[in-house]
C-alpha cells in the first residue's frame, strides 16, 4: 500500500568538521529504513458471520491494500488460512456461496462434543492445497486455547487444517482438537481478535475485523445464538483489549445473522464490503504519525540527506542500508570511517551540493573526493558559486564561528544559497522519488542557463521522450470508443488526437493524466483515426512524436443486427438468484469502459436498460427492479464487442 508520495529522510549534522581538525571520534549514524509498512489482518471469530471477512478482503485488495500477515481466531482462522494460502477474494466468495453444512459437520457421540471436526480439517487442507502454514505466500497464524492450562496457542507452522480445527473447536460443541498430547479449544476464549499476535509477528499496521455479537437486551433465539453471545460476553474484556491495540477496527453489521447460517454468506460478504469501504481513508492514513515532520511522506522510495558530517554519513548509511534509493548531500565532509571510501560501493543516484567559497571543508579533500569515488548510476555535482559551508543550514553559532576564521568568505547571502538548493533539490527529488520525468528535464534546462552554479554530471538521460506503445481501441459502440496505450517509461501526461478518416481536421484532447481516453459524441458507422503522444515537458514544448495512426469504425445504428456481437463465455454471478428484484451482478473479469445492462421479461418487454461504468478487476453492479412480478427474466450484458445473457428468477 502506498501511504504517501515523497520521502526524504535527513541526517542533519551541523557539527563543523573543519573547526576541530584533531577530532577523531566516529560520528554517530542512524540507520534509516524507508519501506512500506507491514500490514496485518486480525480476523475475529463468529461462526458463519465470518464470511464478512471475505467482503473486507475484497475491498482492501481493490484499493491495493494487501496484507503481509494474517492472524485468525475461530471463523477468522478458517477464512484467513484460505486467503493466506493464496486464494483470491473472488475464489473465496465462490467457495462461501457453495459451502454446505455437510461439508464441515461430522456429528459424533462423544461426551466432549457433538461435532468431531475432522471434516473441517480436511476441507481446509483441501482448499489450501495441503500446504503447511509455513509454505503459505502470506504469513499466517491460527489462534487456539490450550485446554490444560487455558493459555493462548499460536500456530504459525504445520498442518493448516489441524490448526484451524483447533482454533474453531467451540467447547462442548466440537470435540477438542488433539495435537501431540495437548488438547485445544476455540481461540476466542483467550484472544477473540488476535491483534497482539499480529503485532508480535512484526506488523506495523493492524486492521482488526470484529464480527462478535455484542450483548443486547434481546433474548437469543436459538441455542447457537445463546452460545455465541455467551462466549462474547465472557470475552468482552479481551475483545476491548485487543481492539485497543489495532490501528483500524472494522465492524461489519452482522449481529443479526446466525452463527451457523451458511445460507446468509452472501449477505455477510456484502456487509463486510460496506464496512471496509467506510474505513479505506482511515487505513490509508494509518501509517501517519501526527506531529512527525515526515507525516504522510513515507513510501517505498527514500532519500537520505545530510549536511557536513551528516552529508558524509549519508554515504555510510547508504552503504549498509539497501532500502535507501537516493542521496542528497550538502557540502558532505569526509568522516571516520571514510565517506569517500563508502562512496565506492554506493551505486544509487546521488546529488551533491558544494559551496564555491567553502573554506571549512575544501572541495578537493571532501565533496569532490566523494563525488569522484561514487560508483553511482547517476551522479550530479552542483557548485554554488560564492556559496559557503555554513550557509547550507540555518544560523549555527559554532559553524559560523569556525567559518569566520578561514577564507574565502561567501559572496552571496544565506537566503540566496538556500534558494538555489531548493531550486534544484525539489525537482531532483520529484524525479527520483516520484518518477516524474518532466522534473528531470526542467532541472536540466535550468542548469544549462544558470550562471550562479557550475555542474559536473555523469548521468544518462533517464528516459527518451518517445511515443506511447501498445495502442488499442476497445468497447466500440455507435457513438463512443475507449482508447488505451502503454506509457513510455515514466512519462505520465499525454495528448490524443482523433478525426473521421475522411477529414483533414484533428480534434485534440490534451492534459490526459492516465493512459486511457473515452471518445464520445461520435457518428455511427463511421471510420475514425486516432494517435497519441507523450507530453514530456509542456513548459518547454517537449513532446514525443505522434504514435502511428490507429483506425476503428463505429457500429451501425442498430447494434442488435451487427455481426460483431457474439455470445461470450463471460464469468457472471447473480447474487442472490432467485431474488426479490434486488440483486448484484458480479463480474470478476477485467473490464474497462462501459457495460450495457438490459433486463427483459419473457415477452421481451424491457424492465431495465442502462449503462454502467466498469473498472479493471472485479465489478459488482447493483440492480433494483420496482414491484416486479414473480417469474423468469432475461439479463443481457454487452460491452460493445461481446454479449452474454443470464436467467433471473424473481420470487417475492
Q: What is the pLDDT of residue 47?
A: 84
627 vs 210 pLDDT, higher one: 210
Mean pLDDT of the chain: 81
What would the pLDDT profile of 83-94 be if each residue is shown by its tens digit? 999 999 989 998
Number of H helices, E strands in the chain: 17, 31
- The long-range contacts involving 169-174, CB below 8 angstroms and separated by at least 24 positions, are 169/113, 169/117, 169/144, 170/74, 170/227, 170/231, 171/113, 172/112, 172/113, 173/113, 173/114, 173/115, 173/227, 174/113, 174/115, 174/116, 174/117
Which of 563, 582, 578, 565 lies closest to 637 in space, CA to CA? 565
Helical ranges in 17-100 per DSSP H: 52-62, 75-84, 89-98
Q: What is the pLDDT of residue 512?
A: 86
Q: Look up 74 and say whether it is catalytic.
A: yes
| 226, pLDDT greater than 60 | no
Q: What is the pLDDT of residue 496?
A: 94
Exactly one of 74, 169, 308, 579 is catalytic; which is it? 74
What would the pLDDT profile of 17-54 be if each residue is shown by its tens digit? 333 333 333 333 333 333 457 889 999 988 888 999 99
Please tell me whether residue 432 adopts helix, strand or coil conformation.
helix
Look at phi and psi of residue 46 and say left if phi exceeds 0, alpha if psi is from -120 to 50, else beta. left
pLDDT band of residue 296 (cuts 50, 70, 90) is: very low
Q: Look up 200 and say whether it is catalytic.
A: no
Q: What is the pLDDT of residue 515?
A: 84
- Per the listing, cell 484533428 goes with 506
From the number of C-beta atoms within 10 Å of its C-beta (0-12, 13-18, 19+), residue 630 rates as: exposed
Q: What is the pLDDT of residue 540?
A: 62
Whether 10 and 313 have beta carbons less than 8 Å apart is answered as no
d(CA 451, CA 456): 14
Whether 180 and 110 have beta carbons less than 8 Å apart is answered as no
User: What φ, ψ does residue 440 adopt, rounded to 5°?
Assistant: -65, -50
Exactly one of 186, 210, 228, 358 is catalytic; which is it? 186
What would the pLDDT profile of 425-478 be if each residue is shown by its tens digit? 999 998 888 777 778 878 888 999 999 999 999 987 666 678 888 888 876 777
Q: What is the pLDDT of residue 597?
A: 84
| Cβ count near 421 (within 10 Å) | 18
Q: What is the pLDDT of residue 21?
A: 32
What average pLDDT does range 131-148 have in this prediction?
A: 94
Rg (CA), the chain: 32
Whether 575 and 97 have beta carbons less than 8 Å apart is answered as yes
What average pLDDT does range 274-298 have in this prediction?
A: 62
| 340, pLDDT greater than 50 | yes
Look at phi and psi of residue 532 and say left if phi exceeds 0, alpha if psi is from -120 to 50, else beta. beta
What average pLDDT does range 318-347 have in this prediction?
A: 90
What average pLDDT does range 522-546 have in this prediction?
A: 84
| 399, pLDDT greater than 50 | yes
337 vs 625 pLDDT, higher one: 337
Among 4-8, 82-86, 409-413, 500-504, which is the least confidently predicted range? 4-8
Whether 162 and 177 have beta carbons less than 8 Å apart is answered as yes
200 vs 323 pLDDT, higher one: 200
Q: Model-level pTM greater than 0.75?
A: no
| 200, pLDDT greater than 70 | yes
User: What separation in angstroms does the CA of 67 have from each of 70, 139, 180, 358, 564?
Assistant: 7, 9, 31, 50, 42
Sign of CA dihedral 459, 460, 464, 465: positive
| 643, pLDDT greater than 80 | no
- Neighbour-count burial for 321-360, b at 16+ CB within 10 Å, e otherwise: beebbbbbbbbbbbbeebbbbbbeebebbbbbbbbbbbbb
Among 59-63, 296-300, 481-485, which is the least confidently predicted range? 296-300
What would the pLDDT profile of 568-586 be if each residue is shown by its tens digit? 444 677 778 788 888 888 7
- Per the listing, cell 547508504 goes with 318
| 289, pLDDT greater than 50 | no
- Neighbour-count burial for 371-400, b at 16+ CB within 10 Å, e otherwise: bebbebebbbbbbbebbbbbbbbeebeebb
What would the pLDDT profile of 229-265 be if each residue is shown by its tens digit? 555 555 566 788 888 889 899 999 887 777 667 788 8
| Cβ count near 217 (within 10 Å) | 4
Amino acid at each position: 500500500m502506498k501511504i504517501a508520495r515523497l520521502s526524504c529522510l535527513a541526517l542533519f549534522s551541523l557539527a563543523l568538521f573543519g573547526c576541530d581538525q584533531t577530532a577523531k571520534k566516529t560520528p554517530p549514524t542512524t540507520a534509516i529504513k524507508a519501506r512500506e509498512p507491514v500490514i496485518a489482518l486480525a480476523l475475529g471469530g463468529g461462526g458463519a458471520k465470518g464470511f464478512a471477512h471475505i467482503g473486507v478482503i475484497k475491498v482492501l485488495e481493490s484499493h491495493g491494500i494487501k496484507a503481509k500477515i494474517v492472524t485468525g481466531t475461530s471463523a477468522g482462522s478458517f477464512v484467513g488460512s484460505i486467503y493466506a494460502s493464496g486464494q483470491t477474494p473472488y475464489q473465496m466468495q465462490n467457495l462461501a456461496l457453495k459451502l454446505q453444512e455437510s461439508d464441515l459437520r461430522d456429528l459424533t457421540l462423544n461426551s466432549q462434543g457433538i461435532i468431531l471436526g475432522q471434516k473441517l480439517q480436511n476441507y481446509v487442507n483441501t482448499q489450501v492445497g495441503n500446504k503447511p502454514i509455513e509454505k503459505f505466500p502470506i504469513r499466517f497464524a491460527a489462534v487456539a486455547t490450550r485446554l490444560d492450562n487455558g493459555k493462548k496457542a499460536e500456530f504459525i507452522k504445520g498442518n493448516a487444517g489441524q490448526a484451524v480445527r483447533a482454533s474453531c473447536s467451540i467447547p462442548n460443541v466440537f470435540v477438542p482438537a488433539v495435537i501431540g498430547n495437548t488438547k485445544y479449544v476455540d481461540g476466542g476464549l483467550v484472544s477473540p481478535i488476535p491483534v497482539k499476535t499480529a503485532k508480535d509477528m512484526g506488523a506495523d499496521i493492524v486492521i482488526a475485523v470484529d464480527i462478535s455479537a455484542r450483548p443486547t437486551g434481546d433474548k437469543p433465539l436459538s441455542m447457537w445464538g445463546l452460545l455465541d453471545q455467551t462466549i462474547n460476553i465472557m470475552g468482552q474484556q479481551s475483545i476491548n483489549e485487543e481492539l485497543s491495540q489495532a490501528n483500524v477496527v472494522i465492524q461489519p453489521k452482522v449481529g443479526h445473522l446466525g452463527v451457523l447460517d451458511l445460507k446468509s454468506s452472501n449477505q455477510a460478504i456484502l456487509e463486510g464490503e460496506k464496512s471496509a469501504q467506510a474505513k479505506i481513508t482511515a487505513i490509508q492514513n494509518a501509517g501517519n504519525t501526527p506531529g512527525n515532520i515526515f507525516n504522510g511522506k513515507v513510501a517505498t522510495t527514500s532519500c537520505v540527506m545530510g549536511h557536513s558530517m551528516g552529508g558524509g554519513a549519508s554515504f555510510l548509511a547508504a552503504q549498509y542500508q539497501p532500502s535507501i534509493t537516493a542521496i542528497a548531500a550538502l557540502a558532505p565532509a569526509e568522516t571516520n570511517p571514510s565517506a569517500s571510501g563508502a562512496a565506492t560501493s554506493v551505486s544509487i543516484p546521488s546529488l551533491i551540493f558544494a559551496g564555491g567559497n567553502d573554506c571549512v571543508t575544501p572541495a578537493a579533500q571532501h565533496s569532490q573526493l566523494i563525488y569522484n569515488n561514487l560508483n553511482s548510476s547517476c551522479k550530479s555535482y552542483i557548485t554554488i558559486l560564492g556559496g559557503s559551508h555554513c550557509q547550507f543550514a540555518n544560523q549555527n553559532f559554532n559553524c559560523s564561528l569556525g567559518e569566520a576564521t578561514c577564507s574565502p568568505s561567501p559572496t552571496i547571502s544565506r537566503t540566496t544559497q538556500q534558494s538555489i538548493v531548493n531550486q534544484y533539490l525539489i525537482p531532483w527529488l520529484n524525479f527520483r522519488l516520484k518518477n516524474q520525468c518532466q522534473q528531470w528535464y526542467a532541472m536540466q534546462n535550468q542548469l544549462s542557463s544558470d550562471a550562479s552554479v557550475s555542474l559536473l554530471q555523469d548521468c544518462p538521460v533517464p528516459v527518451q521522450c518517445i511515443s506511447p506503445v501498445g495502442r488499442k481501441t476497445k468497447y466500440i459502440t455507435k457513438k463512443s470508443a475507449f482508447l488505451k496505450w502503454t506509457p513510455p517509461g515514466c512519462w505520465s501526461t499525454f495528448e490524443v488526437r482523433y478525426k473521421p478518416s475522411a477529414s483533414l481536421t484533428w480534434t485534440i484532447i490534451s492534459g490526459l493524466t492516465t493512459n486511457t481516453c473515452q471518445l464520445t459524441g461520435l457518428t455511427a458507422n463511421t471510420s475514425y483515426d486516432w494517435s497519441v503522444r507523450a507530453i514530456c515537458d509542456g513548459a518547454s514544448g517537449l513532446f514525443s512524436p505522434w504514435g502511428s495512426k490507429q483506425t476503428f469504425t463505429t457500429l451501425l445504428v442498430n447494434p442488435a443486427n451487427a455481426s460483431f456481437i457474439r455470445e461470450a463465455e463471460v464469468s457472471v454471478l447473480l447474487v442472490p438468484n432467485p431474488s426479490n428484484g434486488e440483486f448484484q451482478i458480479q463480474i470478476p473479469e477485467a473490464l474497462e469502459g462501459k457495460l450495457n445492462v438490459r433486463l427483459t421479461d419473457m415477452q421481451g418487454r424491457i424492465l431495465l436498460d442502462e449503462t454502467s461504468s466498469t473498472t479493471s478487476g472485479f465489478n459488482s453492479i447493483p440492480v433494483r427492479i420496482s414491484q416486479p412480478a414473480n417469474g423468469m427474466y432475461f439479463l443481457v450484458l454487452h460491452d460493445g464487442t461481446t454479449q452474454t445473457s443470464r436467467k433471473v428468477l424473481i420470487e417475492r
